[in-house]
Amino acid sequence: MRIDILTLFPKMFENVLNESMLKIARKKKKTDIRVHNLRDWTCDRHKTADDKPYGGGSGMILKIEPLYKALADLLGENRVKKAATKKGIKKNMKIILLTPKGKKFNQKIAKKLSKLKHIILICGHYEGIDERIRSLVTDELSIGDYIMTGGEIPAMAVLDAVTRLIPGVLGDRASLRCESFENNLLEYPQYTRPREFEGMRVPEVLLSGNHKAIDAWRRKESLKRTKKVRSDLLWKR
């Protein structure tokens, strides 16, 4: 999978891409992740990517020109011109704007994205974006009901969640089936050695070797945890 990231702060991604699962995915050549500086597509000597909003108001607005030129270079100008009608974008790719106004990102969306061949992540910044930018994207995603300085950290969250689902990235694919949010349940409690620490013991059922009893315990604990912490997920079942 190829993933392009359009941002005003490309250095923010350097450490993230060279650690843990993202590093493994790149090393295995399961992903081709490219970070682009939007300022490279500005047209003045100050590399200006923002401007004051028409009609007045506080803050600065991300300009449409550098983003349009960046997408034109990545996809071809004809496809970008057709993007407003969504006819110029292939089914196996998405152009995603990270914004608080977007649909809330979740595991189901991550799974769908992991099956694509090409994703472009656009990191918004400043007070907002020129509204015309929305005509160039296929999807808008948010990672939660709160405001961040920019779309860089949300892009990293999407990048990590999607990459680990790509076949061949994780060593144990079976582990994915037992994670939180599978079947709208939070994951059951996990334990490892030592069996006892500071008076805290591992539940005896996990030491019994009775896999049927262990599975029943895990499901019960998963339901209990979901009800306590995220009861909204149970309604989705």
Whether 217 and 225 have beta carbons less than 8 Å apart is answered as: no
pLDDT interval class at 178 (50, 70, 90): low
pTM: 0.88
Structure tokens at 78: 């004809």
pLDDT mean over 142-154:
95
**What does the pLDDT look like over 205-228, one tens digit per residue?**
999 999 999 999 999 999 999 999
Q: Work out the burial of residue 90: count CB atoms within 10 Å of its CB; fewer than 13 is exposed, 13-18 middle, 19 or more buried.
A: exposed
**What does the pLDDT look like over 96-130, one tens digit per residue?**
999 999 999 999 999 999 999 999 999 988 788 99
Question: Strands, E, within 25-132: which ranges?
Answer: 32-37, 50-51, 61-62, 93-104, 118-123, 128-129
Q: Examine the pLDDT at 172 and tell me if it is beyond 90.
A: no
In this structure, of 83-97, 138-152, 158-172, the range with the lowest mean pLDDT score is 83-97
Which stretches within 77-118 are classed as H helix?
77-81, 107-114
pLDDT interval class at 85 (50, 70, 90): low
Dist CA 14 CA 112 (whole Å) = 26
Q: Which residues contact 172 (CB under 8 A, 6 or more apart)?
A: none
Instruction: With both helix axes pointing from N to C terminus, report the angle between 107-114 and 152-163 in degrees, rounded to the nearest 10.
Output: 70
CATH architecture of 2-163: 3-Layer(aba) Sandwich (3.40)
pLDDT mean over 31-43:
97
pLDDT interval class at 173 (50, 70, 90): low
Q: Which residues contact 112 (CB under 8 A, 6 or more apart)?
A: none
pLDDT interval class at 179 (50, 70, 90): low
User: What pLDDT score was predicted for residue 125?
Assistant: 85
If one looks up domain 180-236 in CATH, what number appears?
A: 1.10.1270.20
| Stretch(es) of the chain classified as CATH 3.40.1280.10 | 2-163
SS3 190: coil
Q: Name the average pLDDT for the chain.
A: 91
| Stretch(es) of the chain classified as CATH 1.10.1270.20 | 180-236
User: What pLDDT score was predicted for residue 76?
Assistant: 87
Q: Examine the pLDDT at 86 and tell me if it is beyond 90.
A: no
